[in-house]
Amino acid sequence: MRLNKLLGLSVLCIGLTLTSCSIEDGKDGIDGIDGLDGKDGANGQDGAPGEDGAPGETGAAGQDGVDGEDGEDGDGLAEMIQYGAVTLNLSGNRPDGDAFEHATIFKYTPINASSFPNYNILETTQNGDDIQYFFNFRRFYSSPDDTYNTTFVDWEVTVDNPGQANQNIISVVLVINRYGVIGTDNKYFVITDTYKTGGEGVSEIVIPDMAFDPENGNHLTFSYEFTVEGANNDSGNFLNVSGTVDINLFELIAP
């Protein structure tokens, strides 16, 4: 009898088990709240710099820009060059023995009145039947300055009846003051010399074509040439000197 009861309970348990396995799954529950973001991780170490790239090809050259307009001349420049100029040509050998040829122009006249008697004047005197002229003029290589810009040529010419058939040149003195002769190799020497009629080592100072017009602003023109021995000029070698004069001179009006 007891055995029958146990057998019945076993069957009942098996039945309940089978019945529970056939029950449907329940619905999904509500999503949970998102969790907090995690902390940022530590920065990694910088990588080693990469190698420089190869230079790019050079681009084509741009076109030249348009030239700017010439600036205006400084105040007083036109006044200083309006009274004419003296050209100077030198040739021979430098102190180091190299041959040279050099040409330049001296065109600046001081325009302060205190300079006129020494730098741009003519004087006349009666000499028997002749009129004797004394021409004294100086032209600077650059803007005149008695302290800093002292490169100049200075002339003193005494002549009877200039430009006429009975012209007689009595004396000539030419001073070249502190003029630097610069070669193409940027080597230079300086000439500070005085050459005059009858001077030691100086040939005849030839002036073949002097002309003077007192009615045209005391206009004086002539060409010149002579030579100087090496012992008597600052090149230390035989020197050829030539050039032209084309100037207007002042004449004092006496009270």
In which residue are the tokens 């040509």 written?
89
pLDDT of residue 39: 74
Q: How much is the pLDDT for 35?
A: 63
- pLDDT > 90: what percent of the chain? 58
Q: Would you say residue 10 lies in a domain?
A: no
Question: Is the predicted pLDDT of residue 71 greater than 60, yes or no?
Answer: no
Q: Is residue 34 part of a domain?
A: no
pLDDT band at residue 12 under the 50/70/90 scheme: very low
103 assigned to some structural domain: yes
Of 191, 152, 154, 146, the closest CA to residue 173 belongs to: 154
Percent of the chain with pLDDT over 70: 80
Residue 14 lies in a domain: no
Contacts of 143 (CB under 8 A, 6+ apart): 77, 80, 108, 149
Strand order in the sheet with 120-127: 120-127, 130-140, 152-160, 168-182, 188-196
Is residue 161 a part of any domain in this protein?
Answer: yes
Q: Identify any residues that bridge with 56 across adjacent strands, giving them in sequence order.
A: none
Continuous H helices in 43-127: 77-81, 116-119
Residue 17 clears pLDDT 90, i.e. is over it:
no
> CB neighbours (10 Å) of residue 36?
6
The answer to whether 201 and 208 are in contact (CB under 8 A) is no
Domains in the chain, number? 1
Region of residue 161 (phi > 0: left; psi between -120 and 50: alpha; otherwise: beta): left
Q: What is the distance between the alpha carbons of residues 130 and 163, in angstroms, rounded to a whole number?
A: 13
Predicted local confidence at residue 24, as pLDDT: 59
Residue 119: which domain range? Answer: 77-248
**Model confidence, pTM:** 0.69
Q: What is the CA radius of gyration of the chain?
A: 53
For residue 238, is it within any domain? yes
| pLDDT for residue 211 | 97
pLDDT averaged over the chain? 85
Domain annotation covers residue 255: no
Q: Is 248 helix (H, G, I), strand (E, B) or coil?
A: strand
Answer whether residue 24 is part of any domain: no
Instruction: Tell whether the model's pLDDT for residue 23 goes beyond 70.
Output: no
Burial profile 132-160: b = 16 or more Cβ within 10 angstroms, e = fewer: bbebbbbbbbeebeeeeeebbbbbebbbb
pLDDT in tens, 57-68: 887 877 877 876
